[in-house]
Amino acid sequence: MVVMVTSIVATGLAAVASVVSLTLAGHGGGHPGPLEWGGAPLTVDSLPRVPYVAHRGGAREVPENSMSGLMAAYRRGTAQVLDFDTRVLRDGTPVVFHDASLNRTTFLGGEVRALDAKEWRGVRLRPRDRLPGSWRAERPPTVAEVLDRFGGRIVLMLEAKDPRGVDRLAALIRSRGLTRSVFVNTNDPEVARRIHDLGLLTQLWRSARQLRTDRPERWRSYVDLLDVDIRARDADLGRAVRSGIPRVWAHTIVTPAQRDRALALGCDGIITDAPGRLARHPARTPGAVSAALGR
């Protein structure tokens, strides 16, 4: 089984890399697009009624925020959206990483923002021992590399951990013609408004504590997706669902019971660290499984 997982990941990386090299000139304001776009990228309009999101690639099943983990999640097909986090290096390069520090997930220490792009090439992710399968240390990707590999093939969700990088992220997304294919996430309503003003799809996440006093209807003019904490009270989740914001998705779900509660309360998207596990346990809410699979 270990050999099989490793082989699938390696084969997938090679296959996608070969497709990326076949491009059409002139798409997306001069940035080439992959042939399988058929003239346009996959957008949020193609999502099923209840999408599943692989949070950090599905962090209980793959190395979080890694290219191999995102590739495995993409090939397994248990999620319709790939989520990853972004930070900004000293020279302004946006990279795929969650923490402000390198300590937890790499072999190095220190702050991410202290490195430049050249130094970033020397960073190696340290896969957790308890992950299923066999994973090798690898360099964490840049945001441009992830957009080039997956943009237009699947809907993406990226969190702007460092607001100073929002303009650079917007430029990367716009130049690839992906403004309707990528949600840009933040916990700050004012940053969300800025993301909206840049012409991007805005996602705002809120903790259970924040949801106790939030009035989410205030954000409906500029938030495309409200990302709510599954640990919140029923009343708070219900208020979010009734806010008028077009999408309300629940995070971070790891059990079928959490998923079923979110769906029963009216959430219409599932953000999960374990998309494979949820796929093996059909939802109890009538019709939820068929909706998630687009049937």
Interval 52-93: pLDDT, tens: 999 999 999 999 999 999 999 999 999 999 999 999 999 999
pLDDT at 33: 52
pLDDT at 47: 97
What is the rounded average pLDDT of the residues 206-215? 98
pLDDT level of residue 291 (50, 70, 90 thresholds): very low
Percent of the chain exceeding pLDDT 90 equals 81
What is the rounded average pLDDT of the residues 252-265? 98
Interval 88-146: pLDDT, tens: 999 999 999 999 999 999 999 999 999 999 999 999 999 999 999 999 999 999 999 99
Residue 135 token pair: 């994973």
pTM of the model: 0.85
pLDDT level of residue 10 (50, 70, 90 thresholds): very low
| Domains assigned to the chain | 2-292 (3.20.20.190)
